[in-house]
Structures are given as C-alpha cells and as structure tokens.
Amino acid sequence: MSDADTQQKILLGISSCLIGEKVRFDGGHKQNRYILDTLGNYFSFRPFCPEMAIGLGVPRETIRLVSIDGHAEAVGNKNAHLNYTQPLVEIAEQQQDWHRQIFGYIVKKDSPSCGMERVRVYHNDQPQRNGVGLYTETLMRNFPTLPIEEEGRLGDPVLRESFIKRVFIYRRWHDMLAEGLDWASLTDFHARHKLILYSHNQDLGRKLGRELSAAHQQPIEDYAPRYLADLMTILQIYAKRSNHVNVLEHIRGYLKQDLDKSDKQELTDSIENYRRGLLPLIVPITLLRHHFRRNPDTYIDRSYYMQPHPDELMLLNSL
C-alpha cells in the first residue's frame, strides 16, 4: 500500500486483537478477515489494546466486570482484590488526542475493557449481560457521536451498513468543519443527507430540518454540535424496508415527466420486488441511477442516499 492510499483511507480505531496482534490474555488474537480484507481497502486502522496499555502483560489473568455498590468495576477473575477500573478509565482519557482524529471505532465484543454492549457484569457470581467495557464506556462518554461498532455485529448486514454509512457521514461532517462551517454549508450538508435520514425515520428527519431552519438566530457554533448529536441519533434507528420504499418512491417522482410507460413499469416492479424482499436495495437504486444519468436532477444527483458508500463494499447488496 502506498502512502497516498493510506492518506485517502478513513482512519478507524480498533481493538488490537481484531487485526491479529497477539495481545489477548492467552497470547492469542481474534483476527477478523472481513475487517482486514474488505474494510481494509477503504479504512486504515489505529490499533489499541487497553489492557496491554495499563501494563498487563501476556499471558495475564483474565478480568471481569463485577457490580460493586451499583457500579461495574473491572477486577481479576481469580484475584478479585486486583481492581483495574481506574487504570482502564484513565488510559481511555489519555487517548483523547488520537480519538479526536478517527472517524469510527471497531471494538471486540464481550470484553470487560472493549465491549460496547451486553458485556457480562457479575452480581454475586451471577452474570447479567448489561455491561459496557470500561475503556469503550469512557470513549463513548467523551465522543458520543463517534460511530462505534462491535466486530460481532458487523456480521449483520443492516448493522454493518449502518455503521459504515455513519463513518462516511462523520467523515464528511469533519471535512465540512475543516472547510469552514457556516449556515450555507450546514444547510447543504442536511439537504444531501435528508433522504438517508428519511430512510431511518421520516418524522425525525423532517423535525431536524425544521430545527435547522429555525436555528439561524443563534451562533452556529452552539447549534452545530446539537445538530450532529440529533443526526447520529436518527441514523442509529433501524432503517426499515418500508422506509426505503417510501424514499425510493419519492425519488421516482422526480422522473415522472421523463420516463416512458415501460421504463416506469420496470422501476415500479423493481421497487415492489424490493418491498417484497425478492430483490436487494442495490437493484432499484442502480435502476434509478441509470435513469438519472440520462435525466439529471441536481438535488437527487447530490443526495448521498444514491451513493452512501463505495459500491465495491457491496453493502446495499445485502439489504
């Protein structure tokens, strides 16, 4: 890989064991080929192992989360008097400089340090799956809008597409900030992402648009973080097939004057077959792209709904 490739790739944080570093308690790793071979074509990775970083070596005693006075604390599995809670929180706090430079983070599921959700917390030796790894919990508290996902959940096509889409949007957000934030750029950003928002939740997407229009009285620096927080909250809502159908039909409306009867019927059939689960989302979108190449429309052509991420990732092929 050349330096130019590395620069163009989007930087993600990642639990070190997922890219094959032998940092697990037993000296092993949990290398994930999808992350390396497929995502690696578009993303570069900044690996970090919080347990190694706080000085736990390899091999080491495993740790687990235990409920103490209502809080989940990380203690040794055998030696419960060894408490690693504060070091794990502090090491996460100390990484903020590079956390600020990344556009997403892939963490190892089930880990008391790295897990994002449903990590076992022991209550009198009875596990409940309601914890968050202490390093990742601190990361999420410091950067609540940063896209974070577990490697296990990347096996689910909907969750995978949602995460990658949020990473690209988060990256575009920061590109916009770097170019200089003003009301015109924020309004344009919203317009280009509006249909994506509608595919997640039309009511909330419209509400965000109204709030943006009404916000011009206040300093943009005050409003922009709230906009990003609301945007990311909407994007985490499950994008239902019926919502995509509504968006596809809305887009089809822009071609009303341009298509002949058979083209219209073919497009209608394609959307209907997607609705029935007989075709993946990429099929009606590809057909729409074809028609908009012949009948350009600035609003649709600039909408990221039509191209949320590179086709080569094939994320729309499984939706």
Binding site residues, ligand SF4, CB under 6 A:
15-17, 23-24, 49-51, 108, 111, 113-114
Which CB sits closer to ligand SF4, 43 or 105? 105
52's tokens: 């190694």
Provide, rounded to whole angstroms, the least separation between the CB of residue 165 and ligand SF4: 25
Which CB sits closer to ligand SF4, 119 or 212? 119
Query: What is the rounded distance in angstroms from the CA atom of residue 276 to the CA atom of residue 253?
Result: 20
Other beta carbons within 10 angstroms of residue 172's beta carbon come to 15
Query: What is the rounded distance in angstroms from the CA atom of residue 33 to the CA atom of residue 15?
Result: 14
Give the HSE-up count for residue 2: Cα atoms under 13 Å, Cβ half-sphere.
Answer: 3
191's tokens: 């317009």
Provide, rounded to whole angstroms, the least separation between the CB of residue 283 and ligand SF4: 38
Which CB sits closer to ligand SF4, 16 or 95? 16
Provide, rounded to whole angstroms, the least separation between the CB of residue 168 and ligand SF4: 25
Query: What is the rounded distance in angstroms from the CA atom of residue 267 to the CA atom of residue 152?
Result: 36
Plot region of 64 (φ>0 → left; ψ -120 to 50 → alpha; else → beta) = beta
Which CB sits closer to ligand SF4, 108 or 165? 108
By DSSP bridging, strand 71-76 and strand 105-107 are unpaired
Which CB sits closer to ligand SF4, 35 or 300? 35
3-class secondary structure, 58: coil
Which CB sits closer to ligand SF4, 114 or 245? 114
Which CB sits closer to ligand SF4, 61 or 266? 61
Provide, rounded to whole angstroms, the least separation between the CB of residue 65 and ligand SF4: 13
Residue that the structure tokens 């996902």 belong to: 149
DSSP single-letter state for residue 83: B
Query: What is the rounded distance in angstroms from the CA atom of residue 81 to the CA atom of residue 202?
Result: 51
Provide, rounded to whole angstroms, the least separation between the CB of residue 83 and ligand SF4: 16
Whether 231 contacts 191, CB under 8 Å: no
Which CB sits closer to ligand SF4, 24 or 291? 24
Provide, rounded to whole angstroms, the least separation between the CB of residue 34 and ligand SF4: 17
Provide, rounded to whole angstroms, the least separation between the CB of residue 293 and ligand SF4: 45
Query: What is the rounded distance in angstroms from the CA atom of residue 111 to the CA atom of residue 132?
Result: 8
**Directed axis angle between helix 183-200 and helix 241-253, to 10°?**
120
Whether 267 contacts 288, CB under 8 Å: yes
188's tokens: 């344009």
Provide, rounded to whole angstroms, the least separation between the CB of residue 50 and ligand SF4: 5
285's tokens: 């979108």
